[in-house]
Amino acid sequence: MHSQHRQNLLDIFSDALKSVHGRDRVWGAIKNDPITLPTHLIAIGKAATAMAQGAIDALGSNIVDGLVITKKGYAQSFTDDLAQDSSWIIIEAGHPLPDKNSLAAGDALTAFIEPIPKNHFVLLLLSGGASALVERLPAGVGLDDWVGVNQWLLASGLDIHSCNWVRKTLSLIKDGRLAELFYPRLVRCLAISDVKGDDMSVIGSGLVVPSSRRVKRAKLPPFVEALVGKAPPAPDLDAACFMRINAHIIATLGDAKQSARRAAQEFGYSVIVHDEFIEGDATDASATLVGTLLSASPGSLHVWGGETTVKLPRSPGRGGRNQHLGLAAAILLQDQPNVMLLAAGTDGSDGLGKDAGALVDGETVKRGEATGLNALSCLQAADAGRFLQASRDLIATGPTGTNVMDMMIGLKYLAND
């Protein structure tokens, strides 16, 4: 039954992803609040192609033209579907590290918006990843500078609010500045939330929404300190441009967690969905989750969500925060025969590779170390992915059509089950 429980956890995770799929969520949002005007469509983020397809399903020929900006490797099937339609522009750019295509996407975004008649309607679809996928930089900040800042942010262990504060100070479109470019056009923004608290001003670093909170300034290295503040001031909270933005969140981590609850109940598990947002250091988080599982009643399945951080060494190996959390948990779960934990990104990516995360159990360390690797050494080197590949515990979903942060699903089952 051990292998069946593992498959059940994967199926539960899959059901959670389907419940927040961008295509269905956008279609539903438009059907509930129809758009009758000719529409110019812009979709940005890792779920951009799925969200754009949902808009096509709902609006059909009412879409005048479209611009889709997404992660490299995430647009192929959508591009094939639109091969005969020259009114669509599709750009794939770098993520989590931006690249020259991210700047090309920023130029394309500006060029796409400028000719839209002032009395026309714009549908903006946003999902996680937009911060890296599209940008226009102020004078004095080059591509190498921007990539270097993002490399530092990814390795810094800072939370999303602190990271976005830095990004917003280096941008001509973030922190509500894109709303100025849209003005006076009427814009409906539908977003899939990939941030704690489902704060629209944080999704995509707040392209069309002003900052809703003050962030305590992080300590920055000199090269970053020299660049912050290069962008002109963001528009005031009461600026006229924001009066023309109608923004809604259409899918959240909470939605995915509740779907996981329903799927797990169908398997007969006693389900506990935790309200706690899992954040902070991934190793510390793993100890919290494992502690809960070890003290849990047999037959209980636990669902968490959040987004942890990993402070990377100078030369990190393979992996991401979910793989790191998974391996740290596996070390704590050694020789526990009836406990397992899944940790994965709902967008299908974790770090720089193509893996979404991992599903570990009490035998993970034994399987991996049988190949000659050492679990603790790999963890300390931020090389969890290499170990988890050896232990055959990696999860690869490919592009999922959504992005509502990370999910952790843990199970303690009966010893004789």
- CATH code of 401's domain: 3.40.1480.10
Site of tokens 């100025």: 180
Enclosing domain of residue 353: 2-16+254-412
Task: Return the pLDDT at 398.
Answer: 92
Last residue of a domain, one of 222, 251, 280: 251
d(CA 11, CA 397): 12
Q: Are residues 56 and 139 in the same domain?
A: yes
The confidence band for 211, taking pLDDT boundaries of 50, 70 and 90, is: confident
- Helices 253-266, 2-19: axis angle to 10 degrees equals 140
Distance (Å) of CA 259 to CA 119, 253, 265, 413: 40, 10, 10, 21
The confidence band for 165, taking pLDDT boundaries of 50, 70 and 90, is: confident
For residue 85, is it within any domain? yes
Q: Are residues 48 and 195 in the same domain?
A: yes
Q: Are residues 139 and 36 in the same domain?
A: yes
Residues, the chain, total? 417
Task: Return the pLDDT at 230.
Answer: 87
pLDDT at 227 over 80: yes
Give the number of domains in the chain. 2
CATH of residue 195: 3.40.50.10180
Q: Are residues 242 and 316 in the same domain?
A: no
d(CA 48, CA 28): 16
Q: Are residues 216 and 356 in the same domain?
A: no
Task: Return the pLDDT at 229.
Answer: 80
Q: Are residues 220 and 92 in the same domain?
A: yes
The confidence band for 213, taking pLDDT boundaries of 50, 70 and 90, is: low
Task: Return the pLDDT at 79.
Answer: 66
For residue 62, is it within any domain? yes
Distance (Å) of CA 311 to CA 284, 316, 321, 385: 12, 10, 10, 16
d(CA 169, CA 286): 33
pLDDT at 318 over 60: yes
Q: Is the pTM of this model over 0.85?
A: yes
Task: Return the pLDDT at 90.
Answer: 94
Which residues, 6 or more positions from 192, have their beta carbon under 8 angstroms from its beta carbon? Answer: 20, 22, 25, 45, 47, 51, 126, 127, 128, 203, 249, 250, 251, 252, 402, 403, 404
For residue 113, is it within any domain? yes
The confidence band for 353, taking pLDDT boundaries of 50, 70 and 90, is: confident
Q: Are residues 11 and 79 in the same domain?
A: no
Q: Are residues 272 and 374 in the same domain?
A: yes
Q: Are residues 231 and 340 in the same domain?
A: no
Last residue of a domain, one of 206, 229, 251: 251
Last residue of a domain, one of 216, 251, 286: 251
